[in-house]
Structure 1
Amino acid sequence: MGKNIFTMTTTIFQIFVFVLTLYYMVLGFFGLVRKKEKKNYTPNKRFALLIAAHNEEVVIGKLIESMLNLNYPKEMYDVFVIADNCTDNTAKISKKYGVNVCERFNKDKRGKGYALEWMFDKLFKMDKKYDGVAIFDADNLVHKDFLKEINSKMNDGYKVVQGYIDSKNPSDSWIAASYSIAFWTQNRMFQLARENMGFSNQIGGTGFAIETETLKELGWGATCLTEDLEFTCKLVLNGEKVGWAHDAIIYDEKPLKLAQSWTQRKRWMQGFTDVASRYFWKLTKKSIKERKWYIFDCALYVLQPFITLMLAVSAILTLIQLDTTGHDIFVISQASNSAMWAVGIKVFALIQFIITPLVLAVERKVSKGFFAMTAVYSTNVFFIPYILELIKIHGLDATKNYGIALGVSIGFNVIFLLVVFLLLGKSNLILFFRFLLYGLYTLTWIPITIQGILNKNNKEWSHTKHIRNIEICDV
């Protein structure tokens, strides 16, 4: 009886996780193609560009320079730097460019969300009025057509529009490369896919614009560690959708080291967990009541920390089943003994692997040759088991001797990296190696998520130090 209950529980759980994975994968495919857009580039909206900055003297100047050179009428936008609790020369450097500098000192209410709320209140009281407010981080660089593209999307009726968050330092380290891969993939498989499906997009923390009247009506009120996610939920609950401007590009600095990345992503997971606890059921109830899938899609998105943990548990259950005997654990890959089912599961794994390099190729972040090599590499899900089976025929069972399986896997990877070097050169070899390390980066989300969930009530803001003083022409 106990075994039957355990089997039933793991069956329901594993199928649920599999369906979630399949949903995101299928939805992601809708981002592979861009629909033709009719754009209205008439510059009819006036913008306030806000830069939230805390001790950003190294990078603030280049961002302001990129903003002052936007392909948009200069009289139609103004730049505001929020020097928030700064103890360096951020304000002094900003003033040299002739932009508006607003210094804020409040040790009790620290963080970007509070700084923005303070600045919004000041904007609303000004004699000069703006149609929209665009938000940026101090480490950003802005493409010259950013406002032109945002304005066009707002002319389509969107009250909030998110721009394309690109990377300004993808080659600096394997962590920066992993971040870049994640953002490039998300821009296509998450943001553009939802745009194509008519769903709401998600605000990404920087490079987005909000209609001033909507901001006044709803109020900002987003002061948690992920203020962008909180405001997105607020919008969706009020019947709005976040628009997506794929050609409104912002270049963002990615962390260089794992420790920096760990701290930043833990903060994201703390914020996600906090927002999920306050908005998931509200969004779910509203989606059921109004029978609107895009609202439920938003509800699923805020559950990312818990979905990550479910994927981890599912993987552990699979490993337990594969590594031991006597466990009545349901595993998708063993749900059927048919050869066709086994091949189907491997094809599913292969697609999951190659979809990321496919997106990078479509986005022109990697060459066609690089994508071809990753596609060939993905066949290891068939090739390595075949080699192990041949070894087993000769009397060595890899399932009982993990050293054999490990040796075959290492040998395959070393040979493949050598082939990449010979065919594509040193730069692509480094990129390919970092792409393989992207899997390790993905795995680190598990302990980071656990920490984030456990510390969701810790609202202390952790500042990420930015050091890459890059000009817009360099990216």
Structure 2
Amino acid sequence: MTLLLSLPLAALALILLIPSSVLAVECLMALARPRAACRREGLEGRYVTKAVVIPAHDEALSIGRTLSALLPELEGQDRVLVVADNCTDATATVAAGLGVEVLERKDPDRRGKGFALDFALKHLRPDPPEVVVFLDADCELTPGSLEELAQVAQSRGRPAQAHYRMRQDGDLDRPGVAGFAWRLRGLVRPMGLAALGMPCQLYGTGMALPWAVLERLSLASGHIVEDMKLTLDLIDEGALPLFCADACVISAFPATEEAAAGQRRRWEHGHIATILGHGLPALWRSLRKGDPQRLALALDVCVPPLSLFLVLLALATLLILPAVLFFDLGQGALALLGLSWGLTLAGLFLAWFRFGRDLIPVRRLLLMPIYVASKLLLYLEFFTRRQKEWNRADRE
């Protein structure tokens, strides 16, 4: 009987050990080989025809800055295609005034970034480029990043993802924890995977896909975390994305607390739903195929958001520790859980020490539990008021 009661606790601890191990290995490898090269093969500098697709929903205030940074990077027959998607402002007018192609899409019943991307690809299909680069309307590619992404994607025949960097406009993230969590996701973890020779997730912007890969995909959806869904589709297709640390795309956190809360709700609810509905099945399929590349990417996708994972570890501790202390059950589970805590905290410390001290000074580390606890309501709302539709985050 004792064994039967202990097995569920051990299973819970073992499940949590998997993402802990993934996170720790990624952080360690990012520290060991911080600049793993993303190799080009076979092109030797040949010009790659490319189109930059920019979906934009009411982005009149930001699209001009994005295009002004992008246009000097164009060469040859490069095209820029702005999709003014269900806009109620002057997005199309501003973009057209800068001399780029503009498509206006009016379909309020089919809202979402995926529909806008699909609309652009249909426009490009009669004369397709070799590579399509996707860029959000509030993002800027650093000089040289456009060419780097296109060259890598075309030479390797695989999607390429730039380092996605967030700047903090204003003072909404006083402890810097959100900025550190983003850097962990957008730089440290993919860098660790690249150091292992493994693929990375796509982040929805600053990503380049060969046309030959895009032809096999269907982007038309209103999925609220379309980047994760696209990554999972690419796992099934065997077209696994590469991380290009030398290319960088920059955006900003939302400008108001209300907008930031809305963005967090969309990201984290979508992240959880995608892991449960698509990530775990993709992980099982990868295991059955026995492909280490697909398996590594599926495992990475299934790592929960950082705050949620810390909450899950804390809840498991509250469940397992009393069982050990008062009922003499689950000693093995407690050992596994302790290992999970150790791996997670060690990985986070290594990542913070090497990549995050500018965001979270030592004196503010003690604020991290408060930040994590502040998101408990957000996770409870996943079961009561889950967000299922795409919404735009206000960054102005």
Q: Taking structure 2 as the reference length, what is the TM-score of the superposition?
A: 0.85
One-letter amino acid matched to 1:103: E
Three-state SS of the structure 2 residue aligned to 1:190 is helix
Distance 1:69 1:454 in 2: 48
Deviations 1:122-172 (A, max 9, x none): 1213xx431111111111122111112112312441321111111233664
- The correspondence for 1:44, drawn from 47, 65, 73, is 47
Distance 1:26 1:149 in 2: 27
Q: Would you say 1:241 and 2:233 are equivalent positions?
A: no
For structure 1, list consecutive stretches of 5 or more residues without a partner in the other structure. 337-341, 375-416, 418-432, 468-475
Q: Is the 8 A contact 2:172 2:257 kept in 1?
A: no
After TM superposition, give the deviation of residue 285 of structure 1 in Å: 4.0
Three-state SS of the structure 2 residue aligned to 1:218 is coil
Look up the match of 2:62: 59
Deviations 1:238-279 (A, max 9, x none): 111111111111111112444433322222234334434553
Deviations 1:362-414 (A, max 9, x none): xxx739xx8xx74xxxxxxxxxxxxxxxxxxxxxxxxxxxxxxxxxxxxxxxx
Distance 2:255 2:167 in 1: 12
1:105-184 to structure 2, matched below 5 A, reads: 105-125=106-126, 128-169=127-168, 172-174=171-173, 177-184=176-183
Q: Is the 8 A contact 2:160 2:242 kept in 1?
A: yes
Q: Is the 8 A contact 2:24 2:348 kept in 1?
A: no
Q: 1:293 to 1:450 in 2, by over 3 A?
A: farther
Three-state SS of the structure 2 residue aligned to 1:119 is helix
Distance 2:285 2:119 in 1: 31
Deviations 1:76-103 (A, max 9, x none): 3221111111111211211221111111
1:313-332 to structure 2, matched below 5 A, reads: 313-319=312-318, 326-328=326-328, 330=330
Q: Is the 8 A contact 1:117 1:220 kept in 2?
A: yes
Three-state SS of the structure 2 residue aligned to 1:102 is strand
Look up the match of 2:393: 464
Q: Is the 8 A contact 1:185 1:359 kept in 2?
A: no
Distance 1:36 1:42 in 2: 17
Q: 1:108 to 1:36 in 2, by over 3 A?
A: closer
After TM superposition, give the deviation of residue 322 of structure 1 in Å: 6.1
After TM superposition, give the deviation of residue 227 of structure 1 in Å: 1.3
Q: Is the 8 A contact 2:256 2:395 kept in 1?
A: no
Distance 2:300 2:342 in 1: 26
Q: Is the 8 A contact 2:280 2:302 kept in 1?
A: no
Distance 2:263 2:186 in 1: 20
Q: Would you say 1:90 and 2:91 are equivalent positions?
A: yes
Look up the match of 1:103: 104
Three-state SS of the structure 2 residue aligned to 1:69 is helix
Distance 2:309 2:98 in 1: 50
Q: Is the 8 A contact 2:86 2:106 kept in 1?
A: yes
Determine which structure has more spread, i.e. the larger CA radius of gyration: 1
After TM superposition, give the deviation of residue 291 of structure 1 in Å: 0.8
Distance 1:323 1:281 in 2: 30
After TM superposition, give the deviation of residue 210 of structure 1 in Å: 1.2
Identity of aligned residues (%): 22
Distance 2:341 2:7 in 1: 24
Three-state SS of the structure 2 residue aligned to 1:462 is coil
Q: Is the 8 A contact 1:28 1:188 kept in 2?
A: no
Look up the match of 2:254: 255
Q: Is the 8 A contact 1:272 1:304 kept in 2?
A: no
Distance 1:47 1:200 in 2: 22
- The correspondence for 1:354, drawn from 349, 356, 363, is 349
Please report the RMSD computed on the Cα atoms of aligned residues, expressed in angstroms: 3.4
Distance 1:345 1:304 in 2: 13
Q: Is the 8 A contact 2:60 2:89 kept in 1?
A: yes
Which structure has more relative contact order (CA 8 Å, sep 6+)? It is: 2
Q: Is the 8 A contact 1:60 1:139 kept in 2?
A: yes
Q: Is the 8 A contact 2:37 2:244 kept in 1?
A: no
Distance 1:226 1:207 in 2: 15
Q: Taking structure 1 as the reference length, what is the TM-score of the superposition?
A: 0.72
One-letter amino acid matched to 1:351: A
Look up the match of 1:6: 5
Q: 1:28 to 1:55 in 2, by over 3 A?
A: same
Look up the match of 1:197: 196
Q: 1:312 to 1:190 in 2, by over 3 A?
A: same
Q: For structure 1, which segment, 104-113 or 347-356, has the greater mean C-alpha deviation from structure 2 after superposition?
A: 347-356
For structure 2, list consecutive stretches of 5 or more residues without a partner in the other structure. none
Q: 1:47 to 1:286 in 2, by over 3 A?
A: same
Q: Is the 8 A contact 1:175 1:441 kept in 2?
A: no
After TM superposition, give the deviation of residue 455 of structure 1 in Å: 5.2
Distance 1:129 1:13 in 2: 49
Q: 1:222 to 1:234 in 2, by over 3 A?
A: farther
1:276-355 to structure 2, matched below 5 A, reads: 276-280=275-279, 282-305=281-304, 312-319=311-318, 326-328=326-328, 330=330, 335=335, 351-355=346-350
Q: Is the 8 A contact 1:153 1:161 kept in 2?
A: yes
Q: 1:353 to 1:133 in 2, by over 3 A?
A: closer
Distance 2:208 2:350 in 1: 30
